[in-house]
Structure 1
Amino acid sequence: MRAQNTGAPDPQAARRDHSARARAGLDGLERLVSGLGTAVLALVTLVVLLATAATCLIGVGLSAVPYALRALRMVTDRERERLSRIGPEIPGGQPPPAGLRAAAGDPAVRRELRWLFRHATLGLVLGMIGLVLPINVLRDGTFPLWWRLLPAGDATASIGFPVVHDTVGALGVSLLGVGWLLLVLYATPFFARLQERPGRRLLTPDPGSDLVLRVAQLTATRAAALDAHAAELRRIERALHDGTQNRIVGVTVLLGAARRAVTRDPAHADAILERAQSAAEEALAELRAVVRSILPPVLTDRSLPDALASLATTCPVPVRVDAELPVRCAASVEATAYFVVAEALTNIARHSGARQATVRLRRDGDRLHVAVTDDGRGGAGDRPGSGLLGIRRRAEAHDGTLTLTSPPGGPTTVEVNLPCGS
């Protein structure tokens, strides 16, 4: 017999709704308070810009215009970072124009100025509300516990009235605390969206400018990929020319000497042939090493974690590999990840003075994350000619990113993020 729905409320569903409402309220409160920080910066920047504009009227502030515009861009970039953490990403803008006339005619600068005024006024007020609301909840909600400790005439609610003279009035103030709590739970998400709306609308680049930035980025990464490819060809050519070719030339010379000595001194010819065989084996070993440097066979035959484990055994510094890759990525992506780790371990062995290193490999959706950490002296940088610059170019050639963290004294962490398809 089928059970009938009696229409009674589900206690578990009600608890889930209350929990979701509480999380939304606290999230809105956190967003408001974080927006208060950028609102204070916006207010200071607005004052600086107004002072610069006023002094420009007498010609004194013209030299300060580039610094004021740079301060504007720093504040707007900080707001873009904040909004990107709590919602859709907002890309950064182009560097601000240098001159006053160019800045006045730049649509991006005009939009940033409009945002600055709104966030320094409305955003600041909403942020102050987000800061004061939880204080009022605590103050008025606990008012019956401590109102007798206040001097006569000062026992009022957070809004300044009414003056409380008895316990009934104190309980009434605690009801006001409940009202503040309901405001936190139900109104702060709306206030947070209201505070963030100008930034979402005014700090987002135009679709056309975003496309221009994307084309410029692809052009730069394509040029970097071509440079990396040319450098790789030069490396292979040097390895073959300076190593394998010289070994083979030595084998040819030794075989000619053995052929001439075979009739005159067979024992000497046998020694020459033995040297020729050793030289041929060395040439073959160097040729195999060059082939492996192009694409390691273990990467093709087995998997990227196995290839990284094999790579770690050849590093003079002890390396721990923490690799989890449930499915294979594209061959080009795995090869890039392999050479990123190989170059990073080479830098660690040569320059870091580290006692140990860790390689971490994870796949998160359509992104492959590779991190190499060592406990060396730190202070690394992707300067021209460095291996880290080569790692960055390899990553950007695949539309990936590189993040380097290397404070003086260490540790150093090289993180590479590569797209690998869904």
Structure 2
Amino acid sequence: MRHAGAVKKRTRAAVYVLVEGAAAVVSLFLLMVGLILLSLSILIVGWLLLPSYVRVLRWWAGLARKRTAAYTGRPVLQRYPPMPGNPTFGDWRRFLTDQSTRRDAAWLSIHGLGAFVAATLTIALPLGALNSIAVPLYWQQMPAGEPVNNPYPVTSWLGAAGMPLIGILYLLIAWWLVPAMAKWISWSTTTLLAPDTRSDLSKRVTALTASRAAALDAHSAELKRIERDLHDGAQNRLVAVVMMLGMAERSLQNNPDQALPQLHRAQDAATEALSELRTLVHDIYPPILDELGLEGAISALAGRSAVPCVLEIDELRRAPAAVEAAAYFVVAEALTNVAKHSGARSVTVTARTEASADSLGETMLIDVIDDGQGGANERPGGGVAGIRRRVEAFEGTAVLESPEGGPTTMRVELPCGF
């Protein structure tokens, strides 16, 4: 039973090495294409083609992760920075020199050469063993000037008698080497394609620092907005109510007929002040989230949208209250932007929850897509900047893609915690 298990293990390793050897041909081709594009990077055509090349490289590295995970039984994590929307030259330069791109390129070169050599040995060693064992059967048939050379010239029965021992040696080498090569290929793939722990920790610390700063900025901006709304709105109305009540009091003493209309005006002003206070409280945390949950709250936003809205919600699970509030305001601001600036005839909002690519908790994905004129961009203090600031406070990402002529897509990813 143990011998059968060992044979099965080595057969599985051989199949993995051979598959990787075949894949190495593609890796070598992609490596040569990458070198050609790098040489053309001094020209515009090189920079235009490199982003597409990186997308193909990511896809090919993703397939290698799946093959290795199937062989080892352990997942190979994947984490890439998002493709920038409407990128500048500087954006592409940072994107192409990102550590994840460099690691993919390093894996491509090692895989293209190493896996090909490993697959060649996996085929050559058993074939060499079979040939060596069969040499005593055919060495005499060879021309006198062209004896069998495997690994020494066979010119006599004594030399031929030693060849089966050489064949057994080849089999022993293959028995040990094939699993070792499979282990090396899986190790190199996991080491190079999985996110580096130390680098990931450093990036996370940087992201936490940036998100903390964004959260403080968002908090400060929110406090200023609340103070401004209270000062310019409800506070002024309450002051007017106090003045109207004072005038009504004097009217009751001097001219009672004028007191009732003044009290009515004070009541109307108090009602307006109360309405503004309710709106202000709603903007801090919408009560509809507690009443209907995020799905119901987004449905209400879609129903009130000035542009006809199609809502698609798929497996949207509950998240922390702060995350749901951020998602609600993201959709509200995005729909407002569509109504104000896009000239769209329809807008589609999709929301769903997915497992994070790094297996750390879940991520809420929100897409707002309109069929407007496109050409939208992010301006300081604008709606898109407000969405990005709110999302970054939760270590999320917001990507805007708006080519001229449309469509415009706003994609938001909000981590939901662990």
Question: Is the pair's TM-score, using the shorter chain for normalization, greater than 0.5?
Answer: yes
2:207·2:395 contact (CA, 8 Å) conserved in 1?
no
Shift of 1:391: 1.4
Give the counterpart of 1:344 among 334, 338, 352: 334
Shift of 1:339: 0.8
In the alignment, does 2:396 pair up with 1:400?
yes
| 1:21-40 paired onto structure 2 within 5 Å | 35=27, 38-40=30-32
Shift of 1:209: 3.0
Looking at structure 2, the residues matched to 354 and 257 of structure 1 have their Cα atoms a distance apart, in angstroms, of: 51
Counterpart residue identity of residue 61, structure 2: L
Looking at structure 2, the residues matched to 248 and 122 of structure 1 have their Cα atoms a distance apart, in angstroms, of: 78
Give the counterpart of 2:308 among 306, 318, 341: 318
| Match of residue 34 from structure 2 | 42
| Match of residue 89 from structure 1 | 78
1:376·1:412 contact (CA, 8 Å) conserved in 2?
yes
Counterpart residue identity of residue 237, structure 1: E
| 1:238-253 paired onto structure 2 within 5 Å | 238-253=228-243
Looking at structure 1, the residues matched to 213 and 335 of structure 2 have their Cα atoms a distance apart, in angstroms, of: 26
Does the C-alpha gap of structure 1 residues 321 and 206 become closer, same or farther in structure 2, counting only changes over 3 Å?
A: closer
Looking at structure 2, the residues matched to 108 and 297 of structure 1 have their Cα atoms a distance apart, in angstroms, of: 42
Give the counterpart of 2:267 among 258, 263, 277: 277
In the alignment, does 2:318 pair up with 1:328?
yes
Structural RMSD (CA): 4.3
Q: Normalising to structure 2: TM-score of the pair?
A: 0.61
Looking at structure 2, the residues matched to 290 and 192 of structure 1 have their Cα atoms a distance apart, in angstroms, of: 63
1:76·1:203 contact (CA, 8 Å) conserved in 2?
no
| Match of residue 300 from structure 1 | 290
Does the C-alpha gap of structure 1 residues 81 and 242 become closer, same or farther in structure 2, counting only changes over 3 Å?
A: farther
1:83·1:89 contact (CA, 8 Å) conserved in 2?
no
Deviations along 1:294-332, one digit per CA (max 9) or x if unpaired, are 111110122111111222233322222223456422111
Give the counterpart of 1:256 among 246, 250, 253: 246
Counterpart residue identity of residue 317, structure 1: V
- Secondary structure of 2:372's partner? coil
Quick one: higher RCO (CA 8 Å, sep 6+), 1 or 2? 2
- Secondary structure of 1:262's partner? helix
Looking at structure 2, the residues matched to 340 and 412 of structure 1 have their Cα atoms a distance apart, in angstroms, of: 15
| Match of residue 385 from structure 1 | 381
Does the C-alpha gap of structure 1 residues 391 and 46 become closer, same or farther in structure 2, counting only changes over 3 Å?
A: closer
Looking at structure 1, the residues matched to 102 and 198 of structure 2 have their Cα atoms a distance apart, in angstroms, of: 17
Looking at structure 2, the residues matched to 371 and 192 of structure 1 have their Cα atoms a distance apart, in angstroms, of: 42
- Secondary structure of 1:329's partner? coil
| Match of residue 266 from structure 1 | 256
| Count of paired positions | 305
- Indicate the percent of aligned positions where both proteins have the same amino acid: 46
Shift of 1:32: 5.7
2:311·2:348 contact (CA, 8 Å) conserved in 1?
yes
Shift of 1:197: 7.5
- Secondary structure of 1:263's partner? helix
Looking at structure 2, the residues matched to 31 and 114 of structure 1 have their Cα atoms a distance apart, in angstroms, of: 16
- Secondary structure of 2:253's partner? coil
Runs (5+) with no aligned partner, structure 1: 1-23, 50-63, 93-106, 130-190
1:83·1:90 contact (CA, 8 Å) conserved in 2?
no
| Match of residue 224 from structure 1 | 214
Runs (5+) with no aligned partner, structure 2: 1-15, 66-76, 82-98, 121-180, 356-361
Shift of 1:252: 1.0
| Match of residue 122 from structure 1 | 113
Shift of 1:91: 4.6
Shift of 1:280: 0.6
Deviates more, 1:337-346 or 1:410-419: 410-419
| Match of residue 139 from structure 2 | none
Does the C-alpha gap of structure 1 residues 111 and 356 become closer, same or farther in structure 2, counting only changes over 3 Å?
A: closer
In the alignment, does 2:410 pair up with 1:419?
no
Does the C-alpha gap of structure 1 residues 47 and 360 become closer, same or farther in structure 2, counting only changes over 3 Å?
A: closer
Shift of 1:228: 1.1
Does the C-alpha gap of structure 1 residues 313 and 73 become closer, same or farther in structure 2, counting only changes over 3 Å?
A: closer
Looking at structure 2, the residues matched to 241 and 260 of structure 1 have their Cα atoms a distance apart, in angstroms, of: 27
Looking at structure 2, the residues matched to 323 and 332 of structure 1 have their Cα atoms a distance apart, in angstroms, of: 20
2:348·2:368 contact (CA, 8 Å) conserved in 1?
yes
Does the C-alpha gap of structure 1 residues 91 and 369 become closer, same or farther in structure 2, counting only changes over 3 Å?
A: closer
Deviations along 1:132-165, one digit per CA (max 9) or x if unpaired, are xxxxxxxxxxxxxxxxxxxxxxxxxxxxxxxxxx
Does the C-alpha gap of structure 1 residues 200 and 328 become closer, same or farther in structure 2, counting only changes over 3 Å?
A: closer
1:321·1:359 contact (CA, 8 Å) conserved in 2?
yes
In the alignment, does 2:362 pair up with 1:371?
no
Looking at structure 2, the residues matched to 296 and 236 of structure 1 have their Cα atoms a distance apart, in angstroms, of: 15
Counterpart residue identity of residue 350, structure 2: R
Looking at structure 1, the residues matched to 184 and 270 of structure 2 have their Cα atoms a distance apart, in angstroms, of: 76
- Secondary structure of 2:399's partner? strand
Does the C-alpha gap of structure 1 residues 245 and 109 become closer, same or farther in structure 2, counting only changes over 3 Å?
A: closer
Shift of 1:267: 2.4
